[in-house]
Chain A
């Protein structure tokens, strides 16, 4: 019979420290997904039918399958490709692709919400595609994008908990490990939940604040 230790401050500390991996994974997925999402969104609204089709397929694929399956497919797919199985890399790649697809779709909507007259005025002034996007369309789209983007970031942070299933030791998995040693599931997973909440809640507040600020600066 293994020794059951009680759930105390040291155990809580171990769980809290694991939150850094949750944050790191979220940050990587968000940064990679930000870049991938921008490219996906631009492809979605481009003139090229080929790019539009490709990006639409990518988005549909990731929106239509559970995140857990995406993690599994990347994790075991790496094995088939002959790469070493590494939960960290698999989780980062899968969540980056996931975030690229979702942010791509969110941002496509924001880009399309910018009135077409803005693009036309920029075009008529001689601005070409890159400058038109960079100085006219994207700054306006980004104001609309703040709230849904932060909303998705919150989903993403919570989504990283699924990486526990492929063996990546982040917040949730550390909770499971501690629970196996302490058999205090309520205290353990209560603590885990509180830490998730403390990560996500300030973001929601921030989103509301920024939305307010932008809505004030861009009254029309």
Chain B
């Protein structure tokens, strides 16, 4: 970890470092629209969380608050011990430690796969090109597309692009991975290759928050499943309880619709 003096200084800014994410009384408005209502959520290190719910329920907004792609009006978010409230420095640190995978991949189209993967390590962490490329090739190997390193994103299939996006995030060596419907934009035959990659990642102990409607994935991988509707967390539980014995009426309706 850090050396002794830095560790002591950091201890002041850091509360409960045992938790990966803590959200307390988080409220988010888009103008007059109340998008997140009093969110309370604690995520342990190594925990795998799946978030589901109807369209517009605030799932994306919730996970985008964790790396501050969205700012909140009130409440507190602490990620890996760094309090995000009012500290630009902590926001920067948290973004470096948090990987995010988007529905639309969002690869940089003017860069090769390899360049996509080396940009942030070189510019943010300041590692050398050689080291960044070695790391990038290692992760491209892990998502099983090492041979695509020199291609441009547009030359790859959707499933391959999303695996590059996962590799790109992993190259920053994140402690937490956020997934926002990573398979929703994919053709059905490509969903599995991306889910398999995510399952691999989960088996290695990565802390993961995934917005997804892949309930098979949720049953297999999740420690907890969360149901959101209209900006609220309405139910949260182990997959067995969540799917086997749902309590909330809207969740029952929702599960009836998607299965």
Contacts and interface: CB of A to CB of B under 8 A. Distances in A.
Per DSSP, chain A at the interface is: helix
Nearest to B125: A126
B110 A120 contact: no
B162 interface: no
A136 B109 CA distance: 9
A9 interface: no
Given A118-B108, A124-B100, A135-B119, A219 B92 contact: no
A218 B109 contact: yes
A139 B92 contact: no
A123 interface: yes
B182 to A, nearest CB: 13
A121 interface: yes
A123 B69 contact: yes
A120 to B, nearest CB: 6
Contacts of A140: 108-110
Contact of B124 (A118, A120, A127): A127
A218 B154 contact: yes
Interface of A: 115, 117-118, 120-128, 131, 135-136, 139-140, 143, 218-220
Interface of B: 67, 69, 92, 95-96, 98-100, 102, 104, 106-110, 119-120, 123-124, 154, 165, 168-169, 172, 178
Given A121-B106, A124-B178, A126-B120, 17 more contacts: A120-B69, A120-B106, A122-B120, A123-B95, A124-B95, A124-B169, A125-B95, A125-B168, A125-B169, A126-B92, A131-B124, A135-B119, A140-B108, A143-B110, A218-B154, A220-B109, A220-B154
